[in-house]
Amino acid sequence: MNWIIKVYKIAGKISIFNKIGSKIRSKRLMNALKFYNYYNESHTLITSNEVGAGTVFIFLLTFISCNLILFGFNYLISLLISLIFALILSRKIYSYIINQFRFRYLNSLQFLDLVYQDFLIIINSTNSIFDAIDFIAHSNYPIISRNFKDMIKLINSGRKPEKILFKYVNSLPNQTFKERMVDLINYDNKIAHITKKNQEFSIELSSKYQEYTKQLDTRMTILIGVNVFTPILTVITFSFYVSVNNYLIVLLLPFHLFLLLILKKTLLKREFFILGEKDFTSNEFDELTLFLSAFANYLEMNNAPEISLIKAVKTHSEIINSKLLKISSNLISKNYHMEKFWEYLIHNMENKQSKVLLNLVKRMLKKSSTETGTRLKNIIHNININKQYIEKRKVLLKSLQFKVLILLFVLGGLMGVMTNIIPFFSQFFLIMNNGSFTEIVFPQQDIFTLLPIAFTLGSILFITAKIITKAIKLRNSLFYSLIVLLVYLLVMYLIDFYLL
């Protein structure tokens, strides 16, 4: 069980937290809880009171703990820092279920175009809305298939398939999908007319994807700029307290880390997913679509699925990777049954989209091989269009990578300088505090003076570099983060050496 869920459950048993928690529930939370309780695999039911109780519990625990840690520190500042930490952590606890709902729901929407292709092949085969609903219910689409299983239960209890499907379609945010499905429900036998009249693939997700890409440069610039200047400003502000106790500067580390995570979440929050988008380290999905494109072409030529498969493997033996080629060749040589072939291939794929696409092909082939070829070509054509948008984003991210590295190296150098001059700032603030300017004594730079400062600034720098390089999809993120840290240590050492 997730530790946050455990917090909900434990805090929910304390009556006072439960009562207070019941006052802070929202409509978003209630909707998310319905979703979570229905789809979570552990079958642990969570109530809104428990979420509220967990939020209140974490807020109080964090607030009290921070005040105890900061005991002896400036009262107003310690109160402010404690309040900030308490609000951040309690917000995370409260939003956990909401974020789970949002992420999984938006992830499922990328498969709506495949669902529509499923509908077309079944309607063309049997002209039955019920058969199409049943077909989707027995597929493996995340969330969507579960919804269609619920429709089957309602139909079995006497409800009309068309009305249930219409209600479900209207609950979705994808306008193009709504229009196409409404036409399927209303026009029944005029499928050929419908497919010509309507686009087979929605444009909402691709449009939003392009819009987000255009904003990405500005978002990344803000994120980088804030994380370059914030450490320097906070260090200068905090220098006064170093004169009291050098180790108090370590408090900057959690403060900056939370600030960085909040900025990253706010500026780089994913609003949607697009079919064809994948992990940049894997080529599995690209190679699979290339292979399936050849397979679809042979199916459209009225070749049997077995013949089409053999020809597709031979045609692409030089360009698809060894794993896919080896699996396909072995299965063909062993005369595997077609259904078992697809099942084995699905099992050996790592990418979720690859599994969903292969499962769709396997199910379509049971209805009509020629129609499967047509539907599969349309799907892959849409994926290829999406890839163009994905490629544009990759180009933008690559253009940002050089700028980011330069800024991080500059930040490393500045931090190295700051590490050595913080004790001088501290001495200045100490003299200001005592009101004596007759004698200014520069502090002796020793290991005990620099160690807490170097540890704090080095950690801030490394974490900042790691998160930002990961955000811009820079390969070897850890390596570049270590190089930035090395620049910091080198500058710090050189300045300390010359000062001595």
3-state secondary structure 389-454: HHHHHHHHHHHHHHHHHHHHHHHHHHHHHHHHHHHHHHHHHHHHHHCCCCCCCCCCCCHHHHHHHH
DSSP 8-state class, residue 251? G
Q: How confident is the model at residue 425 (pLDDT cuts 50, 70, 90)?
A: low
DSSP 8-state class, residue 443? P
Nearest partner of 232 among 481, 398, 437, 416, judged by Cα? 416
Q: How far apart are CA 481 and CA 489, in angstroms?
A: 13
Give the pLDDT mean for 273-284: 65
**Could you tell me the CA-to-CA distances from 93 to 6, 133, 240 in Å, in that order?**
11, 37, 34
> If you compute the radius of gyration of the chain from its CA atoms, what whole number of angstroms results?
29
Instruction: Name which residue leads in pLDDT, 393 or 449.
Output: 393
What pLDDT is recorded for position 197?
A: 43
Structural tokens at position 226: 């804030």
- Whether the per-residue pLDDT at 441 is higher than 70: the answer is no
Q: How far apart are CA 478 and CA 354, in angstroms?
A: 29
**Which residues, including other chains, have CB under 8 Å from residue 255's CB and lie 6 or more apart?**
81, 84, 234
What pLDDT is recorded for position 200?
A: 53
- Whether the per-residue pLDDT at 194 is higher than 50: the answer is no
Domain edges within the chain: 3-108, 112-199, 205-276+389-499, 284-387
**Could you tell me the CA-to-CA distances from 387 to 177, 241, 319, 400, 492 in Å, in that order?**
20, 53, 18, 20, 45
Structural tokens at position 334: 């062993």
382-424 residue pLDDT tens: 888 888 888 888 888 888 888 888 888 888 888 888 777 776 6
Q: How far apart are CA 222 and CA 268, in angstroms?
A: 11
What pLDDT is recorded for position 101?
A: 78
What pLDDT is recorded for position 482?
A: 93
Q: How confident is the model at residue 18 (pLDDT cuts 50, 70, 90)?
A: confident
What pLDDT is recorded for position 318?
A: 55
Task: Return the top range by mean pLDDT from 55-59, 399-403, 449-453.
Answer: 55-59
CB 431 within 8 A of CB 440: yes
User: For the chain, how many residues are written?
Assistant: 500
CB atoms within 10 A of CB 177: 20
Chain centroid, CA 80 distance in Å: 31
CB 143 within 8 A of CB 39: yes
The angle subtended at Cα 141 by Cα 41 and Cα 124, nearest 5°, is 150
Phi, psi of 55 (to 5 degrees): -65, -45
Nearest partner of 425 among 234, 195, 165, judged by Cα? 234
CB burial string 460-476: b at 16+ within 10 A, e below: bbbbbbbbbbebbbbee
What pLDDT is recorded for position 141?
A: 81
Count of H-run helices and E-run strands, the chain: 21, 0
Q: Is 143 left (phi over 0), alpha (psi -120 to 50) or beta?
A: left
CB atoms within 10 A of CB 384: 13
Burial of 406 (0-12, 13-18, 19+ CB in 10 A): exposed
Q: How far apart are CA 195 and CA 193, in angstroms?
A: 6
CB 461 within 8 A of CB 412: yes
89-146 residue pLDDT tens: 898 899 888 887 777 777 777 788 788 888 887 887 777 888 889 988 888 787 888 8
**DSSP-based helix, strand, coil % in the chain, nearest 5:** 80, 0, 20
Structural tokens at position 7: 């917090």
What pLDDT is recorded for position 312?
A: 81
